[in-house]
């Protein structure tokens, strides 16, 4: 095995400005004044029907292999049976006459179906707005060709996997097998093309090794790199590059017996047939917290902390270690969680190192944490997860908490710290998911606004107060009436007197003389009773007359009272009751007496 | 005659009561529509149905389901707000608490910073504290005053009950205050909500708040609300924050 390191340029960052100038001055001159010229040819120029030939057009002094720089005629002036399809374009720098010159190359696939001689005549294209003549080229298609004959040279793309998940990096090999006409040679300016892929430039590995090809073992140039799909679907991936003879743009490993031609390289643009990669999307329903896009088989090593005893407000470094075999440089560290008691700064990458004794590598992320309270007893758990494409599910890589002791002032001794940390065991967090939906509306409320903030709430709260006030006034009134019973009696007498007056009116209206007399007597007794005080039924005519003023007692009022009582007594006790009809006529006098008695209550 | 009218009115009332009990309310119909849509995976439809149901009557289960639907729609802020409102009505539901824990862990946002009396107020539904405070106060007053008013001999249990009720009243005061202060806590609804230095749209952005971040309202000005968050204080637009206690 032979390892060559070719064209190793000194690192620019390690040079001083003067050395940089020397390096720049020592580089060959780039010729940009030569007139643009074109060459065109079929490769190979003779094929059988159905075989592929590459129509290759090269322009010198151009550095842009795009439709902007070169405007092709539409359609291409090719014979009708010959269908041309643009499959690759690229540019490179080639030595020409002691200087370097830029070349742009365009590859068109031609796959004639029938024998004949097909000539693409001379035609003109616009290069940067100026006409450039493309010379004629001829392709001969013969039914019979001596075996073996030269086939169109092309690159081969061999992906390590064709069924991957989004974000899952996989190795892709680009091969250029040697042929009897062309020995093993390197490929420069290798490009992997395809929408939805990110190609990593750093882990490129070049080698020349023996590979199976067309039933035999032939040396082949192998260019390996890592490709990461970033979108889901059926994606196509192809490669292109320039043949470079024995010029290799980096270290190369040559295995086995290989003959490399020392002739000047031809710098032919080669391309590959596209391969299809089935890229599956990551499942979203089972995504775990802390997923930052890491796809691969990783594990989380116990984190390291610079010290287990820290003063409040002082930073402490927590190093999280993620182990895996590939793509560790593409892992985004989990964002710092927001937790009470800690101020955490985003992680800083700490580099990738090989794990001793295994094929694993270890990526480290350094978090700076500042405790803002002495109540915390451990660093917070930092949620992190990755998607394992082998297992097809998310893996929890949460960085576990590390016990710490936060002191407000002076530091503890190591012995104290060790004792305290041994007593605090980290408790695994309880994992949970979303619940099932409730099948009933549950507890209801008229509003989410708390009662205290509703306008009617103070009134409702004051209702008992109003009740208690009412009770208090009632009790006070009751106690007052207990000490002044005459007020109650007179009040009761007034109410009873009004009732009797209403009955008196009804009896008078109905012409019920006996009833009228009874009501009159009762009303007189009620109106007089509070003055003694006595039960109304116990009063007799003399008692009522005593209440009247002396002048009225001897006058019409006294006479009327006597008449009513006399008739009532006669109807109650005499053998022949007296007539009562004429008493109704004295109603107005009676009412006047009763009003006066009521006024005296 | 009057007795007949009263009998008719009582009969009509009983009839309406029976009818109301037998036919579900419109809000409950929309709730079941929402559950069906949720189980069919139609989260937009489910969320709308739950909102319709809540417009009729707020309920803890409806808010729980609305949070689930919003979570599946990717609206983290709305989901956390709904679950906070569900816990506001019914803090005893374990599903609501678990969902809040899960959502905050997944969205990497913190729960609101509560004072001790606010934390105590979360032990019972929001309105319970008011009733407890009012009921215990007036019970204590009644035990002290009513025996004298009704001329009942004051017994030992009267005084014991009065002391107990007054103690409950004193204990319920801090949570009642906590309910009022908690009503100022809001949840940021939109991702990367700018926290502005001044209450204008052209103001300098102090910080960006994630959806689901709690914020405490301090004052208002026009369409902006001055809030205090765990990342600092500043102004947010009224439409970018939802309050647990909707006005």
Model confidence pLDDT, tens digit, residues B78-106: 999 999 999 999 999 899 999 999 898 88
Q: What is the mean pLDDT of chain A?
A: 82
Residue range A567-579: average pLDDT?
A: 75
CB contact under 8 A, B99 and A439: no
Containing H/E element for A206? Answer: strand A205-213
pLDDT, tens only, A173-193: 998 888 777 777 888 888 888
State residue A68's pLDDT score: 60
Q: Indicate whether B87 and B133 sit together in one domain.
A: no
Specify if B112 maps to a domain. no
CB contact under 8 A, B102 and A449: no
Pairwise pLDDT comparison (B33 vs A257), residue with the higher score = B33
pLDDT, tens only, A113-165: 888 888 999 999 988 888 899 999 999 998 888 777 778 888 889 998 889 88
Q: Indicate whether B208 and B220 sit together in one domain.
A: yes
Tell me the C-alpha distance between A43 and A151, whole Å: 8
Asked if residues A577 and A571 have their Cβ atoms less than 8 Å apart, the reply is yes
CB contact under 8 A, A450 and B64: no
- Sequence-distant (6+) residues with CB within 8 A of A182 are A153, A243
Q: What's the domain count of chain B? A: 3
State residue B1's pLDDT score: 45
Asked if residues A128 and A35 have their Cβ atoms less than 8 Å apart, the reply is no
CB contact under 8 A, A448 and B85: yes
State residue A148's pLDDT score: 74
What are the residue ranges spanned by the domains of chain A?
Answer: 32-141, 156-280, 291-422, 485-599
Among candidates B181, B113, B122, which has minimal Cα distance to A341?
B113
Q: pLDDT grade, residue B235 (50/70/90)?
A: very high
Asked if residues A579 and A547 have their Cβ atoms less than 8 Å apart, the reply is no
| A285 DSSP assignment | T
**In degrees rounded to 5, what are phi and psi of residue A97?**
65, 40
Q: Is the pLDDT of residue B31 over 50?
A: yes
Report the chain B residue with the minimal C-alpha distance to residue A433.
B102
Span of A41-45, A243-247, B227-231 with lowest mean pLDDT = A243-247
State the nearest Cα–Cα gap between A411 and chain B, in angstroms. Answer: 29
State residue B24's pLDDT score: 54
Specify if B163 maps to a domain. yes
State residue A17's pLDDT score: 64
Final residue in a domain of this structure, among B78, B107, B136: B107
Final residue in a domain of this structure, among B182, B210, B226: B182
State residue A37's pLDDT score: 86
Tell me the C-alpha distance between B70 and B74, whole Å: 6
Q: pLDDT grade, residue B45 (50/70/90)?
A: very high
* A337 chain-B contacts, CB cut-off 8 A: 108
* B26 chain-A contacts, CB cut-off 8 A: none
Helices B60-72, B76-89: crossing angle, 10 deg rounding? 170
Indicate the residue of B28, B58, B130 with minimum beta-carbon distance to A445. Answer: B58
Q: pLDDT grade, residue A329 (50/70/90)?
A: confident
Q: What is the mean pLDDT of chain B?
A: 88
Q: pLDDT grade, residue A15 (50/70/90)?
A: low
State residue B78's pLDDT score: 93
**Taking the model in full, what pTM does it have?**
0.47
State the nearest Cα–Cα gap between A286 and chain B, in angstroms. Answer: 12
Domain of residue B63, CATH code: 1.25.40.10
**B180: buried, middle or exposed (CB in 10 Å: 19+, 13-18, 0-12)?**
middle
Domain that holds residue B56: 2-107
State residue A9's pLDDT score: 41
Specify if B114 maps to a domain. no
Span A291-422 CATH architecture:
Sandwich (2.60)
Tell me the C-alpha distance between A593 and A558, whole Å: 9
State residue B169's pLDDT score: 95
Q: Indicate whether B134 and B102 sit together in one domain.
A: no
Span of A63-72, A214-223, B84-93 with lowest mean pLDDT = A63-72
Indicate the residue of A340, A432, A445 with minimum beta-carbon distance to B98. Answer: A432
Indicate the residue of B28, B71, B130 with minimum beta-carbon distance to A450. Answer: B130
Specify if B190 maps to a domain. yes
Q: pLDDT grade, residue A477 (50/70/90)?
A: very high
Asked if residues A208 and A222 have their Cβ atoms less than 8 Å apart, the reply is yes
Its sign, for the CA torsion A259, A260, A263, A266, is: positive
Containing H/E element for A30? Answer: strand A30-31
* B131 chain-A contacts, CB cut-off 8 A: 451
Query: Is residue A390 classed as helix, strand or coil in its secondary structure?
Result: coil
Specify if B161 maps to a domain. yes
* Cα of A90 vs its chain's centroid, Å: 42
State the nearest Cα–Cα gap between B201 and chain A, in angstroms. Answer: 27
Residue owning tokens 């490709």: A227
How far is residue A242 from each of residues A553, B21, B176, measured CA to CA in Å? 149, 84, 80
Dihedral of CA atoms A283, A284, A289, A291 in degrees, nearest 10, equals 60
Q: Is the pLDDT of residue A422 over 80?
A: no
Its sign, for the CA torsion B80, B86, B89, B90, is: negative
Q: pLDDT grade, residue A419 (50/70/90)?
A: very low
* B188 chain-A contacts, CB cut-off 8 A: none
pLDDT, tens only, A162-176: 898 888 888 899 988
Q: pLDDT grade, residue A423 (50/70/90)?
A: very low
Q: Indicate whether B103 and B20 sit together in one domain.
A: yes
Among candidates B113, B106, B119, B86, which has minimal Cα distance to B211?
B106
State the nearest Cα–Cα gap between A441 and chain B, in angstroms. Answer: 4
- The two beta strands, A163-165 and A275-280, are parallel
Q: Indicate whether B90 and B150 sit together in one domain.
A: no
Domain A32-141 has CATH 2.60.120: no
For the domain spanning A156-280, the CATH number is 2.60.40.10
Asked if residues A68 and A128 have their Cβ atoms less than 8 Å apart, the reply is no
Domain of residue B207, CATH code: 2.30.30.40
Q: Indicate whether B129 and B207 sit together in one domain.
A: no
CB contact under 8 A, B125 and A450: no
CB contact under 8 A, A445 and B179: no
| A80 DSSP assignment | T
Q: Indicate whether B193 and B166 sit together in one domain.
A: no
Final residue in a domain of this structure, among B85, B107, B129: B107
Query: Is residue A196 classed as helix, strand or coil in its secondary structure?
Result: coil
Indicate the residue of B62, B125, B149 with minimum beta-carbon distance to A471. Answer: B149
State residue A65's pLDDT score: 62
Indicate the residue of B35, B106, B148 with minimum beta-carbon distance to A437. Answer: B35
Span of A153-167, A432-446, A571-585, B158-172 with lowest mean pLDDT = A571-585
State the nearest Cα–Cα gap between A385 and chain B, in angstroms. Answer: 12
State residue B79's pLDDT score: 94
Tell me the C-alpha distance between A248 and A206, whole Å: 9
Q: Indicate whether B154 and B200 sit together in one domain.
A: no
Q: pLDDT grade, residue A13 (50/70/90)?
A: very low
Q: Indicate whether B127 and B170 sit together in one domain.
A: yes
CA atoms within 13 Å, Cβ hemisphere of A277:
33
């Amino acid at each position: 095995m032979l390892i060559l390191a070719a064209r190793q340029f000194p690192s620019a960052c390690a040079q001083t400005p003067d050395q940089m100038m020397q390096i720049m001055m020592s580089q060959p001159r780039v010729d940009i004044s030569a007139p643009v010229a074109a060459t065109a040819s079929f490769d190979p120029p003779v094929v059988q029907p159905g075989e592929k030939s590459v129509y290759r057009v090269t322009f010198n002094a151009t550095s842009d292999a795009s439709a902007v720089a070169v405007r092709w005629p539409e359609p291409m002036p090719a014979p009708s049976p010959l269908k041309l399809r643009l499959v690759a374009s690229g540019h490179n720098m080639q030595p020409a006459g002691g200087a370097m010159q830029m070349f742009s190359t365009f590859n068109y696939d031609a796959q004639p179906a029938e024998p004949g001689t097909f000539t693409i005549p001379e035609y003109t294209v616009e290069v940067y707005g100026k006409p450039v003549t493309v010379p004629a080229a001829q392709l001969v298609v013969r039914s019979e060709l001596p075996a073996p004959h030269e086939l169109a040279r092309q690159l081969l793309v061999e992906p390590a996997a064709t069924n991957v998940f989004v974000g899952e990096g996989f190795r892709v090999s680009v091969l250029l097998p040697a042929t009897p006409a062309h020995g093993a040679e390197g490929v420069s300016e290798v490009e992997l093309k395809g929408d939805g892929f990110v190609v990593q430039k750093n882990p490129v590995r070049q080698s020349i090794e023996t590979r199976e090809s067309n039933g035999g073992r032939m040396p082949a140039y192998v260019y390996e790199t890592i490709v990461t799909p970033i979108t889901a679907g059926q994606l196509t991936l192809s490669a292109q590059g320039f043949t470079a003879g024995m010029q290799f743009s980096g270290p190369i490993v040559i295995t086995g017996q290989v003959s490399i031609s020392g002739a000047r390289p031809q710098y032919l643009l080669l391309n590959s047939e596209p391969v299809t990669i089935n890229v599956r999307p990551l499942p979203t329903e089972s995504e775990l917290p802390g997923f930052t896009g890491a796809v691969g088989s990783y594990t989380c090593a116990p984190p390291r902390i610079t010290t287990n005893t820290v003063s409040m407000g002082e930073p402490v470094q927590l190093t999280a270690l993620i182990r895996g075999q590939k793509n560790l440089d593409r892992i985004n560290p989990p964002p710092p969680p927001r937790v009470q008691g800690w101020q955490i700064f985003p992680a800083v990458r700490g580099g990738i190192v090989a794990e001793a004794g295994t094929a694993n590598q270890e990526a480290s992320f350094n978090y700076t944490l500042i405790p803002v309270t002495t109540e915390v007893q451990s660093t917070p758990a930092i949620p992190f997860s990755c998607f394992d494409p082998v297992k097809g599910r998310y893996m929890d890589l949460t960085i576990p908490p590390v016990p710490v002791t936060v002191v407000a002032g002076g530091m503890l001794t190591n012995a104290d710290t060790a004792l305290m940390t041994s007593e605090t065991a980290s408790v695994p967090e309880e994992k949970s998911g979303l619940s099932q939906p409730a099948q009933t509306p549950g507890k209801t409320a008229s509003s989410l606004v708390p009662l205290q903030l509703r306008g009617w709430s103070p009134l409702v709260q004051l209702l008992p107060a109003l009740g208690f006030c009412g009770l208090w006034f009632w009790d006070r009134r009751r106690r007052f009436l207990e000490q002044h019973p005459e007020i109650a009696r007179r009040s009761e007498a007034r109410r009873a007197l009004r009732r009797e007056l209403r009955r008196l009116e009804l009896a008078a209206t109905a012409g019920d003389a006996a009833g009228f007399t009874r009501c009159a007597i009762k009303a007189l007794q009620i109106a007089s009773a509070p003055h003694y005080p006595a039960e109304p039924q116990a009063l007799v005519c003399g008692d009522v007359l005593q209440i009247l003023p002396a002048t009225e007692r001897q006058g019409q009022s006294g006479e009327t009272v006597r008449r009513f009582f006399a008739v009532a007594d006669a109807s109650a006790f005499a053998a022949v009751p007296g007539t009562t009809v004429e008493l109704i006529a004295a109603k107005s006098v009676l009412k006047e007496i009763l009003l006066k008695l009521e006024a005296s209550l | 005659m009057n007795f007949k009218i009263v009998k008719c009115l009582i009969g009509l009332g009983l009839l309406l009561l029976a009818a109301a009990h037998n036919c579900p309310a419109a809000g409950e119909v929309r709730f079941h529509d929402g559950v069906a849509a949720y189980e069919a995976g139609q989260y937009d439809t489910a969320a709308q149905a739950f909102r319709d149901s809540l417009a009729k009557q707020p309920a803890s289960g409806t808010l729980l389901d609305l949070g689930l639907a919003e979570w599946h729609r990717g609206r983290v802020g709305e989901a956390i707000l709904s679950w906070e409102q569900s816990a506001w009505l019914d803090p005893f539901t374990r599903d609501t608490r678990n969902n809040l824990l899960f959502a905050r862990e997944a969205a990497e946002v913190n729960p609101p910073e509560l004072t001790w009396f606010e934390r105590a107020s979360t032990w019972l539904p929001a309105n319970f504290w008011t009733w407890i405070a009012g009921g215990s106060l007036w019970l204590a007053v009644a035990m002290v005053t009513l025996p004298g008013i009704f001329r009942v001999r004051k017994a030992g249990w009267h005084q014991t009950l009065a002391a107990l009720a007054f103690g409950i009243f004193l204990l319920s005061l801090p949570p009642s205050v906590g309910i009022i202060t908690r009503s100022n806590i809001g949840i940021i609804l939109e991702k990367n909500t700018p926290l502005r230095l001044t209450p204008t749209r052209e103001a300098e952005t102090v910080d960006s708040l994630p959806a689901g971040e709690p914020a405490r309202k301090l004052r208002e000005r026009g369409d902006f609300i001055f809030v205090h968050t765990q990342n600092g204080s500043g102004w947010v637009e009224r439409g970018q924050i939802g309050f647990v206690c909707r006005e």
